[in-house]
Chain A
Amino acid sequence: MSFYLAIVSPLDSPLFQLSFQSSKPSSTPTTSSPFPSWSSFSPSDEPVSARSTTQNSTSNGNGTIGSGGTGAGGQVVAERHMQQMIAHASLDSVEEVMEGTGNLYLKNVDRHNEWTVSAFLATSVKFILLHDIKNDDGIRAFFIELWEVYVKVTLNPFHTVNTPIRSPIFEAKVRAAAKRNL
């Protein structure tokens, strides 16, 4: 049960991204997808974060680690690029849906292979979440908690709105919210 979260600015630049695994066991996998799970970026077990990906990509570039390690690292990198692409490709669908509704939480706006995309409009920025299970209430609760933390960050006068968020505390809060709700 892996997730990928991206916070996207109104000008579509990424402000924050995070990949994480769910602690809960999979209850209802999305079997409604017409595609078989043949895609090369099936969720791996190891948690992917920005730091580990950079490490992996650099070590791959050197080619110093063993064949098994390189394979796993390569897959993680490919998966990450895929997640980014799906998240940002779904922005068009999000903008289409948001014009006709007053809801902030837009569920299942897009789908790509096993990934379902849900979005949340925190006024100007958008939260995009890729998930491979169906858990509407949990995702909504997660989004609201994330929104609260995000608002707290933006209320900080030393934070410029629509600039990348690099606070480790913010990341920890997001992970904690994900652990509670997803």
Chain B
Amino acid sequence: MAQSATYYNPPPPQSSSSRFSLPSTTSPSPSSTSSPPPRREVSRTSLPPSGLQNVFTPIPGQGRNVGILDRPLNKTRGGEVSNSAWAFLFAEIISYSQSRVDSVTDLERRLASLGYEAGQRILSLLLLRNTLTTSSKDPKREHRLIPILQFIHTQVYKYVFGKPADGLERSVEGEDEYMLTCNSPPLTQHISIPRDMGQLSCEAFTAGLVEGVLDGLDVPARVTAHTVPTDQYPQRSVILIKLDQKVMDREEILAK
């Protein structure tokens, strides 16, 4: 997934670190400027910070490491994670989750909650990058239902999976149900479900992701994943979006 790339962005090369300018400003007297800075100060400034502080501050001793708040958010070329690396990671995620649940429903819920976390972050990152790259004065988001769903269908899917979803349609059963179909979902293409877990769809992760994005756009919904194989696409999966009544009410008002 391309989103993970942000964590592994190579820090930009920095010629001088602010850490090294510290001893010279605190040098005791002008006569000793040529001598190396006192040993005590060097050891003081290079003490490793502890705990969570680590993630926000550059770690001393690794000269080029920059705190996460200083790194640029730009999308880097070649920052994508390869499919095989993701497949390994996802396999581990599933077996880890499976050892901690009792039922298929629980497992799906766990995967969905992981996807939800990813979805929340992907949405804000995507919107921010769109704003920064177009350098538009007025950052926007979609606020009507259909554009939101189209935004997920094309932009989010393209960003996460490299290609838009294959279909977006409204369910025949209810006004508030929409379906996102993917003929061969890239996340789960190497997974075959054992016979005794027939109901399981590992696309629950994607469902959670979609739910996270929808929630970020103020569209609460219940999102589930189902495998609906066809002869041509044995792995075809459907993400079923059941919208909250609040959304339908709001759409009705806005449509006027």
Contact = CB atoms under 8 A, between A and B. Distances in A.
Pairing of A with B: yes
Interface of A: 10, 98-105, 121-124, 140, 144, 147-158, 161, 167-170, 173
B19 interface: no
Contact of B120 (A147, A157, A161, A168): A161
Chain B CB count within 10 A is highest, among A121, A124, A152, A153, for A152
Given A100-B254, A140-B137, A169-B57, A152 B127 contact: no
B124 A154 contact: yes
Contacts of A155: 6-7, 68, 121, 125
Contacts of B143: 98-102
Contacts of A98: 143, 218
B124 A151 contact: yes
A147 B128 contact: yes
B120 A123 contact: yes
13 contacts: A99-B250, A99-B253, A100-B143, A102-B140, A104-B127, A149-B69, A151-B121, A151-B128, A152-B68, A153-B68, A155-B6, A161-B121, A169-B69
A170 B70 CA distance: 10
Given A123-B217, A153-B69, A161-B117, 9 more contacts: A102-B142, A102-B143, A148-B128, A151-B73, A151-B121, A151-B128, A153-B68, A155-B6, A167-B56
B141 A123 contact: yes
B166 interface: no
Chain B CB count within 10 A is highest, among A102, A122, A123, for A123
A103 B136 CA distance: 12
Interface in B138-153: 138-144
B67 A169 contact: yes
Contacts of B56: 167-170
Contacts, number: 88
Contacts of A156: 55, 68
B59 to A, nearest CB: 13
Chain A CB count within 10 A is highest, among B120, B124, B140, for B124
A173 B73 CA distance: 15
Contacts of A144: 131, 139
A129 B52 CA distance: 28
Given A102-B143, A151-B128, A169-B67, A158 B6 contact: no
Contacts of A157: 7
Contacts of A169: 56-57, 67, 69
B251 to A, nearest CB: 10
Contacts of B125: 151, 155
Q: Which 3 A-B pairs have the closest CB atoms?
A: A123-B216, A104-B139, A102-B143
Given A103-B139, A105-B139, A124-B216, A158 B69 contact: no
B121 A154 contact: yes
Contact of A158 (B52, B140, B253): B52
Nearest to A123: B216
Nearest to A141: B137
Contacts of A10: 215
Nearest to B140: A102
Contacts of B57: 169
Contacts of A122: 124
B123 interface: yes
Contacts of A140: 137-138
Interface string B103-129: 000000000000001001101110110
A155 B9 CA distance: 12
A147 B57 CA distance: 19
Contacts of A102: 140-144
B42 interface: no
B132 interface: yes
B190 interface: no
A92 to B, nearest CB: 15
A83 B143 CA distance: 29
B69 A170 contact: yes
B69 A173 contact: yes
A159 B215 CA distance: 19
